[in-house]
Chains A and B, each alone.
Chain A
Amino acid sequence: MDQPNEYSRRSFVKFLAASAVTMPWLAMCSGTTERKVHLSGRIRLGIIGIGSRGAKLLLHLQLIPEAEIVAVCDDYYPHLTNAKQLTKGTARTFSDYHELLALPDLDGVVIATPPHLHAAMTIDALKAGKHVFCEKAMALRPDDCLRMVHAHKQTGKNLQIGFQRLFDLRFIKAVEMVRQGLIGQVTMVRAWWHRNNDWRVTVPKPELERRMNWRLYRNTSGGLAMELAAHQIQVANWLLNGYPQSIMGVGSINYWNDSRDVYDNISLILQYPNGVQLVYDALISNKHHGMAQQILGVKGTIELEQGKWYTKDGPPPAPGILQLINNIEHGIFDTIPIGGPSWIPEHPVDYKGENIIDQHPIPEPTQLELEAFVQSIRQGKQIPDVLEQAFYASVASILANNAMDTQQPVKWPAECVL
């Protein structure tokens, strides 16, 4: 008999391995990082930009025994000291990232600075021979995104961008369900992200306003389209297996009318091949509807953020059945844990949504994406597809801003195809 943890870990690894056929980046997770590692064999990492996201990444990296954070860099002193404390004083500190990059025995860097700095830092790091994990979105301009991709190709160093939904078990499962035709042809994707706050951080001194509230100003930020929508556009691209041909949108500042120059509400329509649209909106003055990513198919509906899916006319398959089919398709012979007492629907006619995935809690996606980054350095191999996914999502969010600014549909530029 299997022990529960053993079973769920095994099934999880198997699940990822099976999914890796169509989602090759997951192969990097199924190798699960070694638990006991020689200190000399650890992957040596530096982190640049340790604000709120950077600190979270740091904590996640510390859970990976195979990785060691040897250096941290932030040009804002309080954040730098905080970072040093988080590493219990073991990491070297730098306020100029060039100095960090000059460390000879550094294998890779993690970049979590505001997006206007991503391109320069990433390219410098790659050229310094470091593998790079950079937070999303890639950059504020398409040509910067392209330059980042080219630098990766030129240097042969790995480049991964932090779109962690690619490592989210629920999303992976949902994309598989769509591929298996469970909800039939997908005819529309709807997504939104609603919050109700000013999107500001309190600054200790007025001089720091532009720096710390970088999200609110266009020369440092892509606004809601880049900070929020980019993630959800990435999921739509992934689901629909492509990128939008054209983007329309309207945005305005209708509530948080302070010194900011990014929209506080946006509405977008992204047109994909085959006439499928992603209909999107985001705002920061009402959070009643929270966030959503809904996949509408002719035979069913997936509500990703709720972790539920609904069939049009009929019950969901028994648990274990989809796994069985997946196993059969991938040549896997494994137990079919299906036997039990009779299933009874809660509502015989009106089927309530079914869970996309039963595993609770699911592994933290950010943890997995960082484990994959460490693995990719260990194996000296670029993770397949993740950079491409990041590129198309990043460029789409930039084009969305262009569309809103010009109030004209923006066609996908031919040069932005990898």
Chain B
Amino acid sequence: MTTAPEQKFPTFHQTFPAMGTRCDVVLPNLHPEIAAFIYQEIQVDICLLESKLSRFQTDSPISEINRYAHERAIRVDLELWDVLTTCRHFHFITDGAFDVTVLPLLQKNQARYAVEKPKSGFHHVELNSADMSIRFTRPGMGLDLGGIGKGYALENVKRILQTHNIKRALISFGESSIMAWGNHPHGDHWPVSIRHMRDEKRWVHEFEMKDQALSTSANGFSGNGTSIHIFDPRAGTPAAISRAVSVVSRSPLEAEVLSTALLVLRKDEQKGVIRHFPGCQIAEMQYGENVEVEVVTY
């Protein structure tokens, strides 16, 4: 343990619901007024972002796209344009493993995968930079930005923290996306560990984080939100099961995308993709029948 800097103020902490999960904001040793202000900014920013990206809010731009983008091109604002082009970029550099057009698969059961498959694939999305609009070239398509929304939100959070010169913070977005800013007040980094998927008392791997984001994706576990929800968009079938991948990166977006892509990619495909994400730390966790788990890091 390193010597503690003097803790002048109590640690600020609040939790708010957003993007179908919760967001925990921990701000150590900040004047309570400042902490409350920063928290407010983060909360407002994320809620605004959610109102754009959520397919569950019927009046959101994404809902509009999902309803009409096959009939006509839908124009979007700069921020959403940024999100969509980012999605296209990542679709490209992950060899198609990261794909926000999996919505039709996500909404259907196994028997329908083959039928739904042709309705997904980012190559069926047309982005027109001239008027910042989007169009689906096939009927029945839909976007689900769940795989990128939290990463995007944390990029915003990072900007807020930078703007206000905040020295340290821990922001956990649904536990799957965590931003460790600066260092723990009593150490030179934040020691963040990944919980065991089948034994809540255990953790399986620890990352030493500083100014970095951690993203964890898991697929095919029973229970809360972790049953099969990640698909290989290229095959139109569920990605590997009983597997979890955690990625740490300076970029929350990259961490978010790569953790999802690595669940989808075959072993022989992974290397080539990881090359496009320099500086990322990765922990892959393959679970057995029970609590045994193999952790590979690279």
Q: Which of B7, B192, B225 contacts A341 (CB 8 A)?
A: B225
Please, which residues of chain B bring their CB within 8 A of the CB of A7?
201-203
Chain A contacts for B184, CB-based, 8 A: 328, 333
* Beta-carbon contact of A314 and B15 below 8 Å: yes
Q: Does A342 contact B (CB under 8 A)?
A: yes
For B1-22 the 0/1 string (1 means CB < 8 A from A) is 1101001001101011100111
Q: Is B195 in the interface zone, CB < 8 Å from A?
A: yes
Is B109 interfacial (CB-CB < 8 Å)?
no
Query: Does B206 contact A335, Cβ atoms closer than 8 Å?
Result: yes
Picked from A337, A340, A343, the residue with its CB within 8 Å of the CB of B22 is A343
Mark B25-45 against chain A: 1 for CB-CB distance below 8 A, else 0.
Answer: 010100000000000000000
- The reply on A257 being an interface residue by CB < 8 A is no
Interface-side segment among B62-70, B87-95, B172-180, B264-272: B172-180
Residue of B with least CB distance to A337: B203
B135 to chain A, nearest CB (A): 30
Distance to closest chain A CB from B1 (angstroms): 5
Scan A1-44; emit 1 where CB is below 8 A from any B CB, else 0.
11110011001000000000000000000000000000000000
A348 at the interface (CB under 8 A from B): yes
A339 contacts B by Cβ under 8 Å: yes
Complexed CA–CA distance, A339 and B193 (Å):
6
Q: How far is the CB of B262 from chain A (nearest CB, A)?
A: 14
Chain A interface size band reads 35 or more
A339 & B192 in contact (Cβ 8 Å cutoff) = yes
Bound: A342/B176 CA distance, A: 5
Is B235 at the interface (CB under 8 A from chain A)? no
B244 interface contact, C-beta 8 A = yes
Is B103's beta carbon under 8 Å from chain A? no
Contact between A336 and B17, CB atoms less than 8 A apart: no
Assess the A340–B197 pair: CB atoms within 8 A.
yes
Whether A321 contacts B172 by the Cβ 8 Å rule is yes
Taken together as a complex, chains A and B put the C-alpha atoms of A334 and B187 apart, in Å, by: 9
Are the C-beta atoms of B21 and A344 separated by less than 8 Å?
Answer: yes
Contact check, A317 vs B174: say whether CB atoms are below 8 A apart: no
Give the Cβ gap from B243 to chain A, nearest Cβ, in Å: 11
A316 to B16, CA, bound (A): 8
Whether the Cβ atoms of B21 and A345 lie closer than 8 Å is yes
On whether the beta carbons of A335 and B192 are closer than 8 Å, the reply is yes
Cα–Cα distance between A175 and B13 once the two chains are bound (Å): 18
CB of B194 within 8 Å of the partner chain: yes
User: With A328-B11, A342-B175 in contact, is A318–B22 under 8 Å at CB?
Assistant: yes
B186: Cβ under 8 A from any A Cβ: yes
Tell me the complex Cα distance, A318–B194, Å.
13
Residue with the greatest number of chain A CB neighbours at <10 A, chosen from B2, B10, B291: B10
| Chain A nearest Cβ from B248, distance in angstroms | 10
> Quick check: A328 and B217 within 8 Å, CB to CB?
no
Q: 1/0 per residue B237-249: CB within 8 Å of A?
A: 0000000101000
Complex: how many Å from CA A316 to CA B176?
16
* Chain A residue contacts of B187, Cβ below 8 A: 333
Q: Which residues of A contact B10 (CB under 8 A)?
A: 329
Q: Kindly state whether residue B141 has any CB partner on chain A within 8 Å.
A: no
In Å, the complex CA distance between A324 and B192 comes to 10
Let me know if A343 and B174 touch, CB within 8 A: yes
Judge whether B154 is part of the interface by a CB distance below 8 angstroms. no
The answer on a CB contact under 8 Å between B244 and A341 is yes
Q: In the assembled complex, how far is the CB of residue A348 from the closest CB belonging to chain B, in whole angstroms?
A: 7
Question: How many Å lie between the Cα of A338 and that of B216 in the bound state?
Answer: 11
Given contacts A314-B17, A340-B218, contact A2 B203 (CB under 8 A): yes
Q: Cβ of B224 < 8 Å from any Cβ of A? A: yes
Contact A339 B15 (CB under 8 A): no
- Given the contacts A316-B15, A328-B186, A333-B187, A339 and B24 also touching, CB distance less than 8 Å: no
What distance in Å separates the Cβ of B228 from its nearest Cβ neighbour in chain A?
Answer: 12
CB-contacts of A357-380 with B (<8 A): 358-359
**A8 / chain B contacts, CB cutoff of 8 Å:** 201
Proximity bits, A314-330, B CB within 8 Å = 1, else 0: 11111111101101110
B118 to chain A, nearest CB (A): 28
Query: How long is the Cα–Cα vector from A244 to B60 in the complex, in angstroms?
Result: 54
B296 within 8 A of A: no
Q: With the chains together, A319 CA to B174 CA distance in Å? A: 10
B11–A338 CB distance below 8 A: no
Q: Is the CB of A336 within 8 A of B185?
A: no
A142 to B190, CA, bound (A): 52
Q: B115 within 8 Å of A by Cβ?
A: no
Contact B21 A321 (CB under 8 A): no
In the complex, which residue of chain A has the Cβ closest to the Cβ of B22? A315
Assembly CA distance A359 to B202 (angstroms): 11
Residue A275 interfacial (CB < 8 Å): no
Q: Is A332 an interface residue (CB 8 A)?
A: yes
Inter-chain contact A338/B17, CB cutoff 8 Å: no
Alpha-carbon gap, A316 to B22, bound state (A): 8
- Any A CB within 8 A of the CB of B257: no
B214 close to A (CB within 8 Å): yes
A342 in contact with B201 (CB, 8 Å) = no
How many whole Å from A412's CB to the nearest CB in chain B? 32
Complex: how many Å from CA A414 to CA B10? 36
Chain B: minimal CB distance from A38 (Å): 33
Q: Is residue B199 contacting chain A, with contact meaning CB distance below 8 A?
A: yes
Complex-state Cα separation, A1 to B193, whole angstroms: 10
B124 within 8 A of A: no
Whole-angstrom CA separation of A346 from B22 in the bound complex:
12
Specify the chain A residue showing the minimal Cβ separation from B189.
A333
Whether A339 and B191, one on each chain, are in contact in the complex, defined by CB atoms closer than 8 angstroms, is no
B175 close to A336 (CB less than 8 A): no
Residues on B with beta carbons closer than 8 Å to the beta carbon of A348: 17, 20
Closest Cβ of chain B to A296, distance in Å, is: 20
**Please, how many angstroms separate the alpha-carbon atoms of A185 and B74 in the complex?**
50
Q: Is A331 part of the binding interface, using a Cβ–Cβ cutoff of 8 Å? A: yes
- Is B287 close to A, CB under 8 A? no
- Which residues from chain A contact B16 at a C-beta distance below 8 Å? 314-315
Is residue B170 contacting chain A, with contact meaning CB distance below 8 A? yes
For residue B234, CB closer than 8 A to chain A, the reply is no
25 pairs of residues in contact across A and B, judged by CB atoms under 8 Å? A3-B202, A4-B199, A7-B202, A321-B24, A324-B170, A328-B186, A331-B186, A332-B1, A333-B1, A333-B184, A335-B203, A336-B192, A337-B194, A337-B195, A338-B178, A339-B207, A340-B194, A341-B197, A341-B217, A341-B218, A341-B225, A342-B176, A343-B21, A344-B20, A344-B21
Query: A337-B203, A345-B21 known; 12 other A-B pairs, CB under 8 Å?
Result: A7-B201, A318-B22, A320-B195, A329-B10, A332-B1, A333-B187, A335-B193, A339-B207, A341-B244, A342-B20, A343-B174, A346-B224
